[in-house]
Amino acid sequence: MTTTIILHQWEISPFCQKVARSLRYKGLSFEAVNYNGVLGAKVGRLSKVGKVPVLDINGRRLQDSTRIVRYLDECHPEPPLYPAEPSLRALAELWEDWSDELLYWFEVYFRVKDPSALEQAVQHSCAGRPALERLPIRLGLKVGLSLQLFNQGLGRMAREDVEAEFVRHLDRIEVALAATGWLVGNRLSIADISVASQLLEVQRTSVPMGAVLQERPHIQAWFKNIQTLD
C-alpha cells in the first residue's frame, strides 16, 4: 500500500523543519504545502490546535511536531528517532522538550529584534506570493511575535542578558557534542533534529548570533550532518 503524506507548513517554522527532517531521515516521501503570505489565514482551519505543522498521512491528520514525530517512529520504526535504551530515550525526550519549550523563544527573540532577520523571515514567509502581502505579514510577525515574547518573559529582558544566556546554552551544547558528535548516544536522534532545527534558523537569519554559532566547531560539524536531511 502506498503511503501518501502531506506536510502543511510554514517554511520558516523550526517545528515544521523538525517534522520535515524527521520524514527525510525515515526515507518517507512527502508533499509540502506552504501557507505563505495571506494563505496563513487558512492555518487555523487545519486542526483544533490552529497552527502548523499538520501532517496528513493516509487520511489521518496529526498536529504538533512532537506528536507527529512519535507517530512516525511507531509506524515507521527504522531508522529510529528515539533511542531504544530507556535512559537514553528519556534524555532525548528532555532535549526535545527543552528545545521546543525554551530554545524556541531565543530563536523568536533574535528574529524579532534583528531588523535584517525579520526581513528574511518576511521574505521566506511571502515566497511565491504578491509583493503587496509583505507589509501586512511584516506587521503581523513583528507585533504578534513581540507580544508572545513579552508574555513569555524573554521580551522583557535586556538584550545583553538574553544574548549572554543564549551563549551559555550554546556552550553547553558544544560540550555535549564533543564526545560523539551527537547529543544523545552515538547516533542521530530526535534530540539532534529538534535542537538543530532551532539553531539553524538562528544561524540563517541572525547575523550577530550566526557569527557566535560559527565560532563553535562541534556545533558546525553537527550542523553539516543535520543538513544532509534538507
CA distance 171 to 108: 20
Yes or no: say if 220 and 132 are a contact pair by the CB < 8 Å rule: no
CATH, residue 156: 1.20.1050.10
Residue after which a domain boundary falls, among 75, 109, 136: 75
- Could you tell me the three cell numbers for 166? 543564549
Same domain, 174 and 141: yes
In tens, the pLDDT along 125-171 reads: 899 999 999 999 999 999 999 999 999 999 999 999 999 999 999 99
Question: Of 27, 55, 75, at which residue does a domain stop?
Answer: 75
Per-residue confidence (pLDDT) for residue 217, from 0 to 100: 98
Q: Which domain holds residue 35?
A: 5-75
pLDDT at 2 over 70: no
Same domain as 214, residue 151: yes
Q: Check whether residue 205 and residue 104 sit in a common domain.
A: yes
Q: Which three cell numbers stand for residue 199?
A: 539553531
> Does 106 lie in the same domain as 16?
no
Amino acid, single-letter form, for residue 142:
K
Domain boundary residue among 75, 99, 114?
Answer: 75
CB 69 within 8 A of CB 63: no
**Amino acid occupying residue 86:** P
Predicted confidence (pLDDT) per residue in 159-216, tens digit:
999 999 999 999 999 999 999 999 999 999 999 999 999 999 999 988 899 999 999 9
Per-residue pLDDT tens digits for 54-64: 999 988 899 99
User: Which residues have a Cβ under 8 Å from the Cβ of 126 and sit 6 or more positions away?
Assistant: 36, 37, 133, 134, 137
Q: Are 69 and 177 contained in the same domain?
A: no
Q: Cα dist. 69→16, 37, 41, 122 in Å?
A: 11, 27, 25, 27
Asked if residue 156 and residue 113 are part of one domain, the reply reads yes
User: Count of domains in the chain?
Assistant: 2
80: in domain: no
- Name residue 31's beta-bridge partners: 6
Same domain (yes/no): 106, 217:
yes
Helices (H) and strands (E) in the chain, counts: 10, 4
Long-range contacts formed by 114-121: CB under 8 A, 24+ apart: 114/205, 114/206, 114/207, 114/208, 114/209, 116/205, 116/207, 117/205, 117/206, 117/207, 118/142, 120/204, 120/205, 121/12, 121/205
For residue 108 the three cell numbers come to 523568536
Does residue 100 sit in the same domain as residue 212?
Answer: yes
